[in-house]
Amino acid sequence: MIYNQSPVIQAINILIPSTLAVLAILNFKKDNNGFISLKQSIKMGVGVFLVTGIIGLVYFSIFINTMEPDYITNTAQMQADALREARPEMEESMIQMQQENTEKFFYASFPIILILNLFIGFVVGLVTGLFTKKS
């Protein structure tokens, strides 16, 4: 399951921080006598997703460096095998280059993951704010 990125796992990874963001926004609104602005709601959504994203990346870094030290190599190998199967006409040197680049630049995906988290937090905060704000 470590290497499985099924849609269910991805949905859970979005559902948990989304629930936390909505609960934080609703709690803020309750503590603020029923008032919350759209800007405050967006900031809370982005903030919750930023914190959960950082915690997730720190955990993932610790996990792949201590508990599963071959994670990056195994992931690159799985991608190369999938590429060989999907495109058998592709030259082996190109597949090897892709595998090496995956291993070399694996950690470059971390900022992209954080940016995606911020975007999802923005959307969750915006939607929740639109439904909960008082004019």
- Residue 88 has a pLDDT of 87
What interhelical angle do 109-132 and 7-31 show, nearest 10? 50
| Full domain range(s) for residue 55 | 18-30+37-132
- Counting the structural domains of the chain, the total is 1
Question: Which pTM was predicted?
Answer: 0.84
Q: What is the pLDDT along the chain (135 residues), one digit of tens a residue?
A: 677 778 888 899 899 999 999 999 999 999 998 889 999 999 999 999 999 999 999 999 999 999 999 999 998 999 899 899 998 898 889 989 999 998 899 999 999 999 999 999 999 999 999 998 765
Residue 72: which residues within 8 A CB-CB, separation 6 or more?
A: 64, 102, 103, 106
1 domain-assigned:
no
Give domain status of residue 8, yes or no. Answer: no
Which pLDDT score, from 0 to 100, does residue 1 have?
61
CA distance 38 to 106: 36
- Taking the C-alpha atoms of residue 24 and residue 48, their distance in angstroms, rounded to an integer, is 8
